[in-house]
Amino acid sequence: MPIRLLDPVLVDRIAAGEVVERPAAAAKELIENAIDAGARRIEVAIEAGGRRLIRVIDDGAGMSGDDLSLAVERHATSKLPTDDLLAIDTLGFRGEALPSIGSVARLTITSRNGSTPGSSITVDAGRKSSVRPAATERGTRVEVFDLFSATPARLKFLKTDRTEAAAVADQIKRLALAHPAIRFILSSDDGMMLDYSAQSDDEVGFEARAIQVLGPDARGNLLHVHGVREDVEIRGLAGLPTFHRATASHVYLMVNGRPVRDRLIVGAVRAAYSDALPSGRHPVVALDIRCPARMVDVNVHPAKTEVRFRDSGLVRSLIVNALRDAIGQAGHRATPLGGLRTLDAMRPMQAPRFDRTRFTQSHWASSASPRFPEEAPAQQGFSEAAQAAFATAPSADVRFAPIVEANSASDFPLGAARAQLHDNFIVAQTSDGLVIVDQHAAHERIVYEKLKAERAAHGVKRQIMLIPEIIDLDPAQAARLLEHAPQLSEAGLVIESFGPGAVSITEIPALLAGGPIKTMVLDLVDGLSEWGDARSLESRIDAILSRIACHGSVRAGRRLKPEEMNALLRTMEATPFAGQCNHGRPTYVELKLADIERLFGRR
């Protein structure tokens, strides 16, 4: 078959397949052009999910008639002042899309700059009209009709109108977060979808825009992130580990104001949250990475969604450390949404009415019993006298922080312990409400963070066992444990072979003294089977420490004295990540007094 040159319109349609894969991609390209034109207000309207119409109106610099004619030509751009592809300071360049869009749809552009009259041009399935005068205000209006009408086969790959409209909204959210000083409006044939008012172009404005994009639940659940290394700076917001989502759709990443979905950055975010989120959950993050243009290549992907850093290791390390620092500085903080959901679940649809006629004489036959049920709380409530019962509880061998008097402890963030329910949940009184703590989950995190700190400083403290613990396993399990002996040793657990299908435990972490050694080892065997070789050495050691901490913490069903409960609360306040256990579940729920009063109709 002889070699031939393709028709230019066909070339544009092939290019459109790379750049304009769906309506959201076309909308993204048009909005980026408006941003590069200096717009401060961008209105987007779509019909049928963008398949029938995409309209983008901006108040940017606009174009003259001559520029308008060139704008729809291939290989024409205003975003590359020189031929240096490594000096791109705009939202171009790889995905210059106007000719591609015009090749698969009917494209109309009307524009006016400050010095010349308005003009308009149309491109219909690759056929360009002449430029004609048009009455319009300063700025640009771009309309795309019947997307993919010139390539009907591509229409079959589009999803429902609702799904395509949601994809357009997602693109606008990402661009709006990257440019908070611009007002963004999105409407569809179903009605208004988004309206983000312009914010100040600073950290305060970025947070305000983040709350607009992420929703009101994000307020009070975001941490400021900042880090600098050499010529790379990272700024943004990160959600508390207990504030998470079922999908990664709330991970917003930007490089020099360009929204990206880069694998390197996504991997760094996951690594930073690796031991703080529940399995299958994703963090809420909005990060903007700033660096010189020459340090990043934006021409890796036609749609400009991926980038390549000159020093990817530096960028990854900076992201991980900045996020971990922010989460660590949050200390014991956890999202208040758990408490609000608890109150919602407790709030009755209608208050139950007490019916005395349902009670027979047997209910008050004994003079020792309260005459009516409503009198019972007076005798069995959380009175100060009732707290004396805790003094008789058996002492727990727990290494906690110094004891603080209960009366003054209510001024601390997690308050003063007032009761222990079901030998697992600590009820504490704060200055403006109450806190319910899961003692096992809380202590699990405390032990884990202490083990990590020991390992980082001088290695996990170990205790030699007077009589080694011999554990029988099947040969495959024993071989797996011995294969990971170096990592287990770094975590404070020394194991040796003890014949076929058995291992000998000769040293254990000092914090685990007296703990259930065999149960922990069997749990580690299961964990090693799940991890395989997918985890890095560092993450595998942390995972081992996490499982050790789980078995070395205060167990559910263990009664604690008041001073031990208060000591646990004080230690939580001083421990990073203490708002969630090693598995990412919250360690406490906080209920504000005002909300509790509303629950009982007092407000």
- CB-CB neighbours of 125 under 10 Å: 17
Q: Are residues 33 and 169 in the same domain?
A: yes
The domain that holds 288 is classified in CATH as 3.30.230.10
- CB-CB neighbours of 113 under 10 Å: 20
**Number of domains observed in the structure of the chain:** 3
Torsion of CA 209, 213, 215, 221, to 10 degrees: -60
> Which of 143, 171, 196 marks a domain boundary?
196
Residues linked to residue 447 through DSSP beta bridges, in sequence order: none
Q: Residue 478: which region, alpha, beta or left (left: phi > 0; alpha: psi -120 to 50)?
A: alpha
Name every residue whose Cβ is closer than 8 Å to that of residue 462 and which is 6 or more positions away in sequence: 492, 494, 507, 508, 509, 510
Q: How much is the pLDDT for 103? A: 86
Any domain includes 260: yes
The percent helix, strand, coil of the chain (3-state, each to 5) is 40, 20, 40
The domain that holds 77 is classified in CATH as 3.30.565.10
Mind giving me the DSSP string for 65-112?
A: HHHHHHHTSTT--SS-SSS-TT---SS-STT--HHHHHHHSEEEEEEE
Per-residue confidence band for 46, with pLDDT thresholds at 50, 70 and 90? very high
Range of the domain at 489: 332-347+383-603
pTM for this predicted structure: 0.74
Residue 274 exposure: Cα atoms within 13 Å on the Cβ side: 16
From 315-324, 351-360, 389-398, the region with the lowest mean pLDDT: 389-398
Distance CA 318, CA 330 (A): 18
Q: Are residues 322 and 340 in the same domain?
A: no
Q: How much is the pLDDT for 367? A: 38
Taking Cα atoms as reference points, which of 213, 390, 339 lies closest to residue 286? Answer: 213
Structure tokens at 353: 């009415």
Taking Cα atoms as reference points, which of 427, 395, 422, 396 lies closest to residue 409? Answer: 427
Residues linked to residue 283 through DSSP beta bridges, in sequence order: 244
Q: Are residues 190 and 221 in the same domain?
A: no
pLDDT digits (tens, 9 = 90+) for 400-428: 444 445 455 568 889 999 999 988 899 99
Q: Are residues 170 and 275 in the same domain?
A: no
Residue 86 has pLDDT above 60, yes or no: yes
Name every residue whose Cβ is closer than 8 Å to that of residue 466 and which is 6 or more positions away in sequence: none
Any domain includes 166: yes
- Pick the more confident residue, 427 or 370: 427
> Which of 162, 196, 230 marks a domain boundary?
196
Residue 385 near residue 419, CB atoms below 8 Å: no
Residue 164 has pLDDT above 70, yes or no: yes
Q: Are residues 52 and 90 in the same domain?
A: yes
Q: Are residues 424 and 553 in the same domain?
A: yes
In 10-84, DSSP assigns E strands to 41-47, 53-58
Structure tokens at 367: 């003079």
- 214-252: b (≥16 Cβ within 10 Å) or e: beeebeebbbebebeeeebebbbbbbbbbbbeeeeebbb
Q: How much is the pLDDT for 386? A: 36
Mind giving me the DSSP string for 170-220?
A: HHHHHHHHH-TTSEEEEEETTEEEEEE----SSHHHHHHHHHHHH-GGGTT
Residues linked to residue 132 through DSSP beta bridges, in sequence order: 120
pLDDT digits (tens, 9 = 90+) for 260-293: 988 889 889 998 988 788 778 899 999 999 999 8
Any domain includes 375: no
The average confidence (pLDDT) of the chain is 82
Distance CA 271, CA 251 (A): 14
Distance CA 243, CA 435 (A): 18
